[in-house]
Amino acid sequence: MRLIAIGGGGFTNANDPGLDDFVLSRAKGNQTRFGFITTASDHDPIKIDRLNGIIAPQVKSATHLSPEADSGALATWIQDIDLLYIGGGDTERLQSVWTERNYWAVIQAEIMRGLYVVGVSAGAVVWFEAALIRNQQKFLKFINGAGLLKGSVCVHYSSEPDRKEPFSKAVLEQQIPQGIAIEDGVAVVFETGKVPYYKSSRTGHRAYYVLQSGTFPFNNVNG
């Protein structure tokens, strides 16, 4: 398994070029066949334009999954990519659409076969056992994820400080498993058989372990 969870930022927000470089270096660099899923943003055309304007010139090919794709179309499309990038937006929308269209099984099978998957914000949190998200009404809430990555997660840990207290409190009271918090501009890398590490494209931004005993910075840094 090779999965990267990004706390916020990257090409979909037209910032953090260093983070984009790092992501591409994990796959095949300028030979990467890059696939983008935009379910969480309801297929925001601005994000798709940024795929074409920022990522496409750096890779072998860059495509996005059709909004109308069913699981069969997804299974065909995903065979022609080396790196799957799942964009941010509405986490609950992503979960609902993927469940309705049976996307989960297709994507998880490809992850287990070695496809590199990168998720930012909503596209990252859905792989953990539990996550703190902001719903469409802008309220914070906890959700259950796919559980492919053990523990809980909180993204936007730097840009949305109101997340910190409820996330720590829920861990302390064992409402959710112990987990990690990821600041914007930070990517945490999970690879089978290796200790998770992070890459930051913003000075002073990092990832944290959030445990019942307290919150502690990651020691494992790449760059």
Tell me, yes or no, whether 7 lies in a domain: yes
pLDDT score for 104: 97
Q: Does 223 fall in a domain?
A: no
State residue 220's pLDDT score. 77
pTM of the complete model = 0.96
The string of pLDDT tens digits covering residues 31-75 is 999 999 999 999 999 999 999 999 999 999 999 999 999 999 999
Q: Is residue 222 in some structural domain?
A: no
Q: Residues in the chain with pLDDT < 50?
A: none
Q: What is the pLDDT of residue 219?
A: 85
Domain with residue 40: its CATH number is 3.40.50.880
Domain carrying residue 8: 2-217
Structural domain count of the chain = 1
Question: What per-residue confidence (pLDDT) applies to 223?
Answer: 54
How many angstroms separate the most distant Cα atoms in the chain?
48
Would residue 171 count as lying in a domain? yes
Query: pLDDT value at position 136?
Result: 84
189 found inside a domain: yes
In a domain, 114, yes or no: yes
